[in-house]
Structure 1
Amino acid sequence: MTLRITVRDGERLVVNGAVMRAAKRCELIIENPVSILREREIMTPNAATTPARRLYLACMMAYIDERHRPAHHDDVVARLAELFDAFEAEAAQQACASFARLVATGDYYRALATCRTLITYEAEALGRLQAAAA
Structure 2
Amino acid sequence: MHLSLKAGERIFINGAVLRVDRKVSIELLNDATFLLENHVLQVEDATTPLRQLYFVAQALLIDPSNSEKAKSVYEDLHRETQKLFTHREIINGLKHAAEMIDAGRAFDALKIIRGLFVMESAILPGEPEAKPIQAA
Assess same fold via TM > 0.5: yes
Q: Which SS does the other structure have where 2:11 is aligned? A: strand
Deviation at residue 34 of structure 1 after TM alignment = 1.0
What pairs up with 1:33-72 in 2 under 5 angstroms? 33-72=31-70
Aligned to 2:73: 75
Larger radius of gyration: 1
Q: Which SS does the other structure have where 1:130 is aligned? A: coil
Aligned to 1:112: 110
**How large is the RMSD of aligned CA atoms in angstroms?**
1.4
The answer to whether the Cα contact below 8 Å between 2:60 and 2:66 also exists between their aligned partners in 1 is: yes
Give % identity: 24
What amino acid does structure 1 have at the position aligned with 2:75?
V
The answer to whether the Cα contact below 8 Å between 2:8 and 2:21 also exists between their aligned partners in 1 is: yes
Structure 1 length normalisation: TM-score?
A: 0.88
The C-alpha deviation readout for 1:76-105, integer Å capped at 9, x for no partner, is 111111111111111111101101111111
Where does structure 1 differ by over 3 angstroms across 4 or more consecutive aligned residues?
A: none
Deviation at residue 115 of structure 1 after TM alignment = 1.1
What amino acid does structure 2 have at the position aligned with 1:21?
R
The answer to whether the Cα contact below 8 Å between 2:15 and 2:65 also exists between their aligned partners in 1 is: no
Question: Whose helix fraction is larger, Structure 1's or Structure 2's?
Answer: 1
Structure 2 length normalisation: TM-score?
A: 0.87
What amino acid does structure 2 have at the position aligned with 1:130?
G
Query: More relative contact order in 1 or in 2 (CA 8 Å, sep 6+)?
Result: 2
Aligned to 2:17: 19
1:130 to 111, 126, 131: 126
Rounded to whole Å, the distance in 1 between the matches of 2:22 and 2:53 is 33
Rounded to whole Å, the distance in 1 between the matches of 2:8 and 2:23 is 8
Structure 1 stretches lacking a partner, 5+ long = none
Aligned to 2:133: none
What pairs up with 1:82-121 in 2 under 5 angstroms? 82-121=80-119
Structure 2 stretches lacking a partner, 5+ long = 128-136
> Across the two proteins, how many residue pairs are aligned to each other?
127
